[in-house]
Amino acid sequence: MLYKQLLENYIHPFIIYVLIGTLISYILCRILVRVRIFRSAKWRAMVYSIPFVVPFAAYFLRKPLLLNRCFVFGDHPIASTSWVCTGGSVLAAILTPLLMASVVYAVFRAVLSFAACRKFIKTYGYADRAEHLRLFLILESLCAKAEVRMPRVVVTTNRFARAFTMGFRYQVIVLSHGLIKNLDDDELETVLAHELGHIVRNDSLTNSIIVFLRDIMFFTPLIFYVFRDYSSEKEKATDDYAIQLTGKPMAFAQALIKVWKMSPGSRIENAVPFPAFVSHAGILDQRVERLVQGDFCVLGNRLSSPLAFSILVMISMALLYYLC
Amino acid sequence: MFLSKEISDFKPHKTGFKKVFGDLEADIMKIIWKSEEVTVREVYEELKLEKKLAYTTVMTIMNRLAEKNLLKRESRGNAFAYTPTISENDFATQVVSEVLDGLLEDFADPALSHIVESLSSKDSQKLNRLEQLIQERRAKGEG
């Protein structure tokens, strides 16, 4: 009985909100990005986070807004959309056990990544300034230029090239020995500026939240396309930050290719929620191409981008409430 | 063939000729291939612009490369002039054939399927083209 109530009152609307909410908001996002309303990568990354947030916002606000009007076994206020409710109840019956398992999996993964972060630091320790003087001199000069606090650095003994930022409150830049050794000073400077960009934007935290939401919304395949677009724009926004800080787009493009060529090509990277310097080649060639073509650091309109963003959220929510 | 001695230590995680040479050896060979005939002093002066190292270190490495038959040493007055015994392109071709032959000898199936996969990858072809463009623009002094 309790299970049936949970299914009808909570999981059924959640599944419908996720399925329809991501679809509506993703279509709207794609249209507005295509017509170049959001010109900067920073705003495009924010826009692609809407399909993750809208279903949850609509779900949790439906009671305070007195919009809980979807009755599977009663009269639906909008007769033409009753098929949505019926479909939702069928899906809820099938997906509920899987949804519960996915919530447990998402929590487990979040805890595991937190533990992995601690173990990483315990294994390698923080890098010593005297031992990695070249690295620290470049990072210190970048931090002074960006007016940010010097982050701590971990250097792994890995001979392949890896770079990422981890941690939430006190963020740490992780670099491999192979990367430091094989990049020249300009290239290393741009990689560090990129990682500094992730710290300034607090990407470790937002990425972990987005990965958590993605894992819970596993039953809509669309969410993986949204995640791909979000990750791509987030990396481009951080690339823009690195170029603004260093003024070296060609060195950065070369560093991206070098790191990609020297990456072990492991799928483990995808399991870690922290943003890695180079993910897969599909996104990488877009990133390199825009650097070569000078299509970076485009500033978004200060008024139209936030306005369009707010309208997009409101329209997505309104359409969702209209349907269910 | 003499190359098999050089390729006894193949380092896949390194870039360019550093995969088969030591780091300094690769830098020196790059300079020699660019200049055709050089003295130790000339190589030392060029390397000194980028890194701190001793003249004798450069001389030792160039002698070692000559002993490996990669360089020919001839007397020019008080100094020795070094010339490459093999062109950069021929050396690259030979490295590729020896490494691939070595892999195909023991791991024919996975090696071949990986080559086919790589050749059909549009991503790597595109990135290689972009890399060439980037290197040309960096050589012209773009950041």
Question: How confident is residue A160, by pLDDT bands cut at 50, 70 and 90?
Answer: confident
User: DSSP alpha helices (H): ranges in chain A?
Assistant: 2-6, 12-34, 41-47, 50-61, 82-124, 133-146, 177-182, 185-201, 203-216, 222-246, 249-261, 268-271, 281-292, 304-323
Tokens of A293: 């073509």
The CATH code of the domain that includes B52 is: 1.10.10.10
Looking at the fold, whether B79 and B109 belong to one and the same domain comes out as no
Q: Would you say residue B122 has pLDDT above 70? A: no
pLDDT tens-digit series, residues A210-228: 998 998 898 888 999 999 9
Mean model confidence pLDDT for chain B: 83
pLDDT tens-digit series, residues A53-73: 999 988 888 766 655 555 444
Q: Under a CB-based contact definition with an 8 Å cutoff, are residues A300 and A38 in contact?
A: yes
**Reduced to 3 states, what is the DSSP secondary structure of residue B129?**
helix
Quote the domain boundaries for residue B112. Answer: 88-139
Looking at the fold, whether B7 and B77 belong to one and the same domain comes out as yes
Looking at the fold, whether B73 and B102 belong to one and the same domain comes out as no
* Cut 0.80: pTM above it: no
Task: Answer with the residue of higher pLDDT: A7 or A42.
Answer: A42
Question: How confident is residue B58, by pLDDT bands cut at 50, 70 and 90?
Answer: very high
Q: Would you say residue A113 has pLDDT above 50? A: yes
Residue B69: left if φ>0, alpha if ψ -120 to 50, beta else—which one?
A: left
Burial (CB < 10 A; 0-12, 13-18, 19+), residue A316, is buried
Q: Under a CB-based contact definition with an 8 Å cutoff, are residues B30 and B17 in contact?
A: yes
| Interval B53-73 mean pLDDT | 91
Question: How confident is residue A97, by pLDDT bands cut at 50, 70 and 90?
Answer: confident
Q: Would you say residue A75 has pLDDT above 60? A: no
Which residues in chain B are closer than 8 Å to A297, comparing Cβ atoms?
none
Task: Answer with the residue of higher pLDDT: B55 or A77.
Answer: B55
Which residues in chain B are closer than 8 Å to A285, comparing Cβ atoms?
123, 126-127, 130
| Interval B2-11 mean pLDDT | 65
Q: List Cα–Cα distances, A94 to A48, A89, A214, B65, B81, in angstroms.
A: 29, 9, 19, 70, 80
CA distance A224 to A194: 24
pLDDT tens-digit series, residues B20-41: 888 899 989 988 998 878 999 9
Looking at the fold, whether B70 and B96 belong to one and the same domain comes out as no
For residue B128, what pLDDT is reported? 83
CA distance A288 to A294: 10
Q: Tell me which residue of A37, A32, A40, A45 sits closest to A240, measured CA to CA.
A: A40
For residue B105, what pLDDT is reported? 82
Question: Which sign does the torsion angle of CA A182, A186, A187, A190 carry?
Answer: positive
- Cβ within 8 Å, pair B123-A254: no
Q: Is B14 on the interface with A (CB under 8 A)?
A: yes
Looking at the fold, whether B65 and B120 belong to one and the same domain comes out as no
CA distance A169 to A220: 32
Which of B15, B121, B126 is nearest residue A261 as measured by Cβ atoms?
Answer: B15
Task: Answer with the residue of higher pLDDT: A243 or A294.
Answer: A243
Looking at the fold, whether B31 and B51 belong to one and the same domain comes out as yes
Looking at the fold, whether B37 and B15 belong to one and the same domain comes out as yes
For residue B80, what are the β-bridge partners? B75
Looking at the fold, whether B70 and B119 belong to one and the same domain comes out as no
CA of A246: which chain B residue's CA is closest?
B143
State the smallest CA–CA distance between residue A256 and chain B in angstroms: 10
- Cβ within 8 Å, pair B131-A254: yes
Q: Under a CB-based contact definition with an 8 Å cutoff, are residues A195 and A165 in contact?
A: yes
- Cβ within 8 Å, pair A251-B121: no
Tokens of A14: 């959640």
Q: Which of A18-22, B27-31, B71-75, B103-107 has the lowest mean pLDDT?
A: B103-107
Tally the domains of chain B.
2
Residue type for B36, please? E
Looking at the fold, whether B18 and B49 belong to one and the same domain comes out as yes
CA distance A242 to A61: 38
Looking at the fold, whether B46 and B103 belong to one and the same domain comes out as no
State the smallest CA–CA distance between residue A151 and chain B in angstroms: 25
CA distance A204 to A166: 6
CA distance B142 to A68: 60
Looking at the fold, whether B15 and B57 belong to one and the same domain comes out as yes
**Domain end marker among B45, B68, B84:** B84
For residue B127, what pLDDT is reported? 83
- Give the list of residues 6+ apart from residue A137 with CB closer than 8 angstroms, or none: none
Question: How confident is residue A267, by pLDDT bands cut at 50, 70 and 90?
Answer: very low
Mean model confidence pLDDT for chain A: 84
Q: Under a CB-based contact definition with an 8 Å cutoff, are residues A13 and A188 in contact?
A: no
Question: How confident is residue A242, by pLDDT bands cut at 50, 70 and 90?
Answer: very high
| Interval A17-28 mean pLDDT | 90
Q: Which of A28-32, A197-201, A258-262, B85-89 has the lowest mean pLDDT?
A: A258-262
- Cβ within 8 Å, pair B133-A292: yes
Looking at the fold, whether B47 and B66 belong to one and the same domain comes out as yes
